[in-house]
Amino acid sequence: MTMSSEHLQILANKLRYTGKSKPRALITGINGQDGSYLAEWLLHKGYEVHGIVRRASTNNLERIRHILDKITLHEGEITDSIFVSYVIYTVSPLEIYNLAAQSHVHTSFSVPDYTFRVNTLGLLNILEAVRQMDYLPNARIYQASTSEMFGNAPAPQGIETPFDVQSPYAISKLASHELIKHYRNTYDMYTVSGILFNHESPRRGENFVTRKITKYFGKSINDRLKLGRLKLGNIQSERDWGFAPDYVQIMWKSLQDNESKDFVLGTEISISVKDFLGVVGKYMWSDWTTYVDIDDGEFVRPSDVHKLQAKSSYTVKTDVYDLVKIMLDYETDTCDGDGYDYYMENYGDIFAWRT
């Protein structure tokens, strides 16, 4: 019996799983903010990197355009169990990072069914695919959980804090968090849930408040006047904002330990959206109140989370004040790329791995 080239490749992947070649990782949502940074980090660490991306009629690969020749992409939906099983079977990854999600909290109120299918069913498909493949007993799975699960529990929130979900997004993520624990405890699988507080960067989607603010104030005064006033919702909400590249390194670190355990990650500094505007205004020599309108309708959630502040399991390097500088320097073209060269020059060795 002659084996097809596809079957030969699958067999080769199974043999390579033994660790005799470079480690192999699979990232769902590799074209998102976190996925793109994680892919860079894993390439730096010598991994063979595979990623799952959704099929789209428009270009959704901008964040990973510069590394497309170094990674392998698989197009499909993580809600499709057959597709997920096929990719995991053919790739045979040592590590799986599930970052794919419908991640906008406000949107989850409009599309709760889609949010739950992507955020929860997608993970279940991954867990089941790995559980049922006998030659992947040592595969390690990271799940991107969220501080939104804490809801309005008293701050600071740590690994022992009870959850108090306030949105369909948080509910879907809490269900996934429990799945991670269930498969770890029941099937002795290496599964980790990283409860990450807000983490931003110049690669953040423009519908997220930090990027929305920094993109607007990064423009000239004349351009702001042409755009009109910036509309925001509840600016009294307080969040713990960090810098995304710090966080992806901890994602990777969490899968290198001898035992799997969940963790919380944040800067342990919480400021309001109003104070964030104040930091941006000072940096840009602008009175933010001149440019901002509060919209109590379109941008306000049906139920809101008032304050999130991490009691972190790890220390991160970049606080919210440096984060603002990085994001504004990117928007004002003070630096090249995504702000890294400028940050390296002024703040030290956080990006020493980007060589």
Shared domain for 159 and 224, answered yes or no, is no
Regarding whether 337 and 280 lie in a shared domain, the answer is yes
Q: What's the pLDDT score for residue 130?
A: 96
Q: Among this protein's residues, is 178 annotated catalytic?
A: no
Q: Considering the chain, what percentage of its residues have pLDDT values greater than 70?
A: 86
pLDDT of residue 52: 97
pLDDT for position 263:
97
Q: From the candidates 169, 183, 190, 216, give the one annotated as an active-site residue.
A: 169
CATH number at residue 61: 3.40.50.720
Residues 6+ apart with CB under 8 A from 86: none
Q: Distance between CA 340 and CA 246 in Å, rounded?
A: 12
Q: Are residues 92 and 52 in the same domain?
A: yes
**Residue 215 is assigned to a structural domain of this protein:** yes
Q: What is the mean pLDDT of the chain?
A: 88
* Interatomic CA distance for residues 169 and 119, integer angstroms: 8
Q: Could you give the CA distance from residue 119 to residue 78 in angstroms, rounded to a whole number?
A: 9
> Would you say residue 100 lies in a domain?
yes
255 and 297 inside one domain: no
Band the pLDDT of 4: cuts 50, 70, 90.
Answer: low
> Would you say residue 355 lies in a domain?
no
Q: What is the mean pLDDT of residues 135-158?
A: 93
Q: What is the pLDDT of residue 109?
A: 82
Residue 56 in domain: yes
Active-site pick, 95, 148, 200, 331: 148
Q: Which domain holds residue 52?
A: 5-200+242-265
The torsion angle over the Cα atoms of residues 185, 156, 104 and 47, rounded to 10 degrees, is -50
Query: Mean pLDDT throughout 91-104?
Result: 92
* Phi, psi for 7 (deg, rounded to 5): -65, -35
Do residue 95 and residue 217 come from a single domain?
Answer: no
- At residue 303, the pLDDT reads 75
pLDDT higher than 80, residue 1: no
Domain of 230, CATH number, reads: 3.90.25.10
Which residue is associated with the tokens 């199974």?
14
pLDDT of residue 6: 55
Reported as a single tens digit per residue, the pLDDT across 306-338 is 999 999 999 998 999 999 999 999 998 755 555
Residues 107 and 167 in one domain: yes
Residues 218 and 139 in one domain: no
Q: Annotated catalytic, 169?
A: yes
Q: What is the pLDDT of residue 295?
A: 80
Flag the least confident range among 9-13, 59-63, 127-131, 235-239: 9-13
Identified catalytic residue from 28, 146, 161, 214: 146
The 10s digit of each residue's pLDDT in 170-215 is 999 999 999 999 999 999 999 999 999 999 999 999 989 999 999 9
Question: Do the beta carbons of residue 94 and residue 25 sit within 8 Å?
Answer: yes
Judge whether 352 lies within some domain.
Answer: no
81 three-state secondary structure? helix
Task: Give me the mean pLDDT over the 78-89 stretch.
Answer: 96
Give domain status of residue 312, yes or no: no
pLDDT tens digit sequence for 260-299:
999 999 999 999 999 999 999 999 999 999 999 988 766 6
pLDDT at 237 over 70: yes
Asked if residue 196 and residue 68 are part of one domain, the reply reads: yes
The answer to whether the CB of 142 falls within 8 A of the CB of 97 is yes
Q: Confidence class of residue 347 from pLDDT cuts 50, 70 and 90?
A: very low
How many domains does one find in the chain? 2
Residue 21 has pLDDT above 80, yes or no: no
Residues 222 and 133 in one domain: no
| Percent of the chain topping pLDDT 90 | 71
47 vs 350, more confident: 47
Are residue 189 and residue 280 in the same domain, yes or no? no
157 and 275 share one domain: no
pLDDT of residue 353: 40
CA 117 to chain centre: 18
Domain for residue 353, yes or no? no
CA of 263: how far to CAs of 77, 161, 217, in Å? Answer: 28, 12, 34
pLDDT at residue 256, rounded to an integer? 95
Please indicate, yes or no, whether residues 31 and 168 belong to a single structural domain of this protein. yes
Query: Does 276 map to a domain?
Result: yes
pTM, full prediction = 0.89
pLDDT at 345 over 60: no
CA distance 309 to 158: 9
